[in-house]
Amino acid sequence: MSLSDELPEREDALYEQLPKGSQRSRVHPLTWAALVAMVPLLSWDVWQTMQDVKQRHQASQVRSLTTEGPRTAFE
């Protein structure tokens, strides 16, 4: 008796020992479709938020420069 003769028997025995809950569950195709649709939307939202923050910082810098007036070296 060789190792290759015992292999199918061992595979069957191993499969029978595994609990039924350990089998991997499948992901529903609609879940994948929803994820694919949401990733670009969320990416755009993050990009837009970063653009808004940059604009606010620029506006506040311009506002602070215009309200303080010119600075001289002797101040």
pLDDT in tens, 25-47: 789 999 999 999 999 999 999 99
pTM of the model: 0.48
SS3 44: helix
Q: Is the pLDDT of residue 60 over 90?
A: no
State the Cα angle at 61 between 60 and 64, rounded to 5°: 85
How open is the CA angle 20-24-30, to the nearest 5 degrees?
130
Using left for φ > 0, alpha for ψ between -120 and 50, and beta otherwise, residue 24 falls in: beta
pLDDT on residue 75 = 52
pLDDT > 70 fraction of the chain, expressed in percent and rounded: 59
Distance CA 57, CA 8 (A): 69
